[in-house]
Each structure stands twice: as structure tokens, then as C-alpha cells.
Structure 1
């Protein structure tokens, strides 16, 4: 057979079928209602966080600058998969186009990496604030914040580009049923024809290097923070330092705990269904929890929110 004809026959797939979370009709209705509520809370919570930080002058600090971008990333990250998943609950056969699948894959790769970089930048911010408070204004200046943000978005763009390139280099010649609720790279690899080892290495190296690098930054920052807290002579100072890190540590633990389970642990340790459940937590639930974690555990955000609500009530 002519080689050009063989290549043509291997690229006949123009759309994919997302199998979703379950085939049970009753469970799908229940999940639709639950996830719809979660998504509405995610959008309203993160949008409120962004607006509050923008309008409250007392929150115009580097920590909240990064938090506002984290809220934006959470909101878009969830939006790349949740609306599609909700539609999947309502129809028997949910399809997504070839191009749509790539957009979903690259979007999740981009905003997932943005979250990693932002959590690392926030850890560095806490490190400087606690360990070098006298140099805080120079080490975490507006220029430095913008530079860190540019690094986050450029690094995330490169990560997404590696997944996009790998996707377009895959050949799909047979089944087009993706055993997931979104176009994740792992189930797409299972559907591809031919040798995909090189493409797997490229995408794994890209995502893995970002995860490892940001985890190292976070770990080193908190090691120095812990050492500094242990050296503090007063209980009030140590408690104040710990309180400023609690919300961020909670967010880091939830986020990296789930991605380690999904992308680092051997596949033999968990089933595909378990992977889907953890992915729901990682991509749908955590974006909802982050604004709640920061608003409930952060006294400055709670104070700013009370002041804004108080002024609004007084105006009436």
C-alpha cells in the first residue's frame, strides 16, 4: 500500500466521543445538579475575590496581586471542562471535534501550569515577608511581581504548546471513544496508532519539570519560613507568621496532592474510574475551594469584605 494512502487512512478521526463519568441515568442527574452548584459557586467565589482585591486599597499588596490571578486561573481552568461535563450528563452520546479536543487539552495544560507557578510565587512572597521583612518592598516590588507573572504565563504557554504539538502529531485510526469526561492526554495516547513514546516523553518532561520546579520553590520557601518561625522569641510573632501561611499551605496541599496522585503515582495503583474521580476534585472542586480557603482563613480579606458590606448596608 502507498505510504501516503496509509497516512491518510490513519487520520480519519475527526471527532471524539467523551464517555464521561457514568452511564447510570439517575446518577448522571444527581451529578449534574451537584456539579452545576459547584461550578456556580466557583465562578461567583473567584469573581468576587478578584473584584474585592481590585476595589479594596488595603489588599493592593503582592500577595493579593498573585491571589487575584490565581482566582482568574481557577475560574478559567474549571470553565475549560465543567460546561462540557454538564452537557455530557444530559445527552446519551457527547461528541467533541478534533480541534475542540485540542483546545480543551491545551487550555487545561496552560491553566494547570499557571496555578503551579502562581502557588510557587505566593510561597516566595511569604518567604520574603517572614524571613526578610526589611527587604520586602525591594525584593517583591511591582516590577518583580510583573516579572514573576510573565514567567508564569510564558512557562505555561510553552507547556501548553508541547501538548498541542504532541496532539497534532498523534495518529488516530480506530476507536474514538475517550474514556474520560474531558480530552486528557493519557486516554488520547491510548487511542493513537503507532509509536507514541517520543511524544509521551516530551509532554511528560514539560509538565513534570514545571511540577518539580514549583514544588522545590515551595518546599525551600517553607523550610526557611519554618526555621525563621522557630527562631522567633515571641508567641504572637510566630502565630501571626503561621496564620499568614495557613491558607496558602492548605491550597498547596490540596492542589499538589491531587496532581501527584494523577500524574506521578503508577497507573497500577488506581483504576480509570478512580482517576476520573480525582480529576473531578482537581479540576472542579479545588477551584471552588480556593476562594473559600483564602476568605475564611485570611483576616485581611475578611476585614475588607466586612468593610465593603458595611458601607453598602449603611448607604441604604
Structure 2
């Protein structure tokens, strides 16, 4: 039986913070534009953003996010052309500037389709609204609500906060008294796999192996980064073995760009050394591919020399990041991505 914390007698002070108010106002502006142009009356905060906001409201944790992850259900087929049009229409002083070169398909494994089609299914498109003074609005516009449900590999990925035009984010989160399922539902938090409890207890569960099979290297790096967000990063031997088996049995379905970008994100993490070691143990390093692999080899030799001395790890991380950033730039110039 799952036990939930319920020792909060009243809403935490984080609900009244200026940081949350800023996000609430920004989402209200975004929703008005979505309704004005497309008749869309609600959106979802997902991925790591929903967890960060709940931590802030319930436990007064600092609200620090580089991106604000937003899901929108379009209600019909979403195309690249429509995504570009939507980005231009949603751009404003309140929401941010549309980044036209960052519109990309959002591929998710769809078990309802035949194998080949299932692994190449495009569930929608992603676009960015950028304000240098605030979080990047990372929008994923799914064709449908059913397509949105394909998103997420771990149970912590499935926590979503639904926000509508009827009430602001601050208003709805003021109903939070604790992190029990009832309190979360009253604040329009969707958490069918008890992901928030897993997040707080640092025990995330792998629930979507099908999507790992779609792109084993790319998704394994994402999974490792999820575990590394815990105060004491750890992963069970059973999960490690499952990931290793999936990695060995499936060919990587990732472009060099996503491989390099995933590594750059990983290397910027606080526990990058732990993540790299785990990636190597699972068998991810040989799968990285020609371009990245020839550079990583010398860095793992350096890692053995440095050991786990803090200065050495910092030097290692910085060296790899700089090299991979150069690689990404060269790939873009060569039209490889």
C-alpha cells in the first residue's frame, strides 16, 4: 500500500510566491492566445516542471527551472506548417519570442500500431517561446489527448497540472493542502501512476519500456538524468539490468544531433560523473556512435586518472562539454541535423 505524506495543515507559502505568480500570469496570456486563435481552453504543465511547481507549493522548495514544459492537445492533426503558424501567433511580450528553427516532431512509441510504424510515430510537434529573462516555454502540441498520454517513460514523467482559462494557476494550486491523491485532484493535478509520491520518496519507476525500445540510447540518457535529480542519486539493480537488456537488444534510433544534445544536457548536471559512469555500465557508451565516441574515449581515460576528485571531475565535465558543443556547431554548419 502506498503511503502519502499528509502533515501539511495549510497550503505552503510557495503558492503566494512572486515566482509562481509570474508563471501563472504568463500561462494566462498564453491561454488567451490559444483560445483566440484555436479555441483551445486548457493546457498542461508536465515533465520536470510540474514536479518543481508542486515541490515549491507544498514544501517551499526554490522554483528554479530553465524550461517550462507545456503540453497542448490540438484536437486534430498537427503539422510542421501549423506548428510554425502557431509559434508566430503565440509570440508576444508576455509569452516570449518564437524560435522558428527549433520546431521539431515529437516522436513517441505507439503500441497500437504495427511495429515499424509504432516506433516512428509522430505524436505532434514541439516549439519554443523564448524570453531571456524568464524560463523558455517548451511547448509540445499533440494531435490529441490520447497522443499526449503516450508521453513519459517513468511514472514521475506522468505528473501533469491542468490549467484552464476558468481560473489561474495560482488560484487552482491554492487548493493544495498536502500531497495526497485527493488534494492533488482538487488542484487539477493528474497523477495516475502516483509519480509525485515516487518523486518525493526518490523511487521512480520505469513504466514504459516500449518507448525505450524506440530509441534506447536517447531515452536511457533521459532516464539516467531523472534519477540524478534526486538528492542521493541511485538506481536499482533490476532497473539497471532492464535498461542494459533493452540497450543491447535494440539498435539506436537516434540521430547524431539528439545523441550529442542529450550528452550536453547530461554533462551540465550536478551529478554528471555518476551519470556517465552509469551510462557506461549499462552499455550506452559503445552505442553513442562514431562522432561522439572518438572524443569520449580519451575523456574516460582522463576519468580513470582523475578518479572522483572534485576538481578532476569538473575539468573532465568542462572538457567534454566544450568538445561536444563544437561538434554540435560543426554538425549544424554541415547540415547534418
TM bin (shorter chain): under 0.3
Which of these two proteins has the greater Rg computed from alpha carbons? Answer: 1
More contact order relative to length (CA 8 Å, sep ≥ 6)? 1
> What TM-score do you get using the length of structure 1 for normalisation?
0.27
Higher strand share: 2
Q: Hey, which of these two has a bigger chunk of helix by percent? A: 1
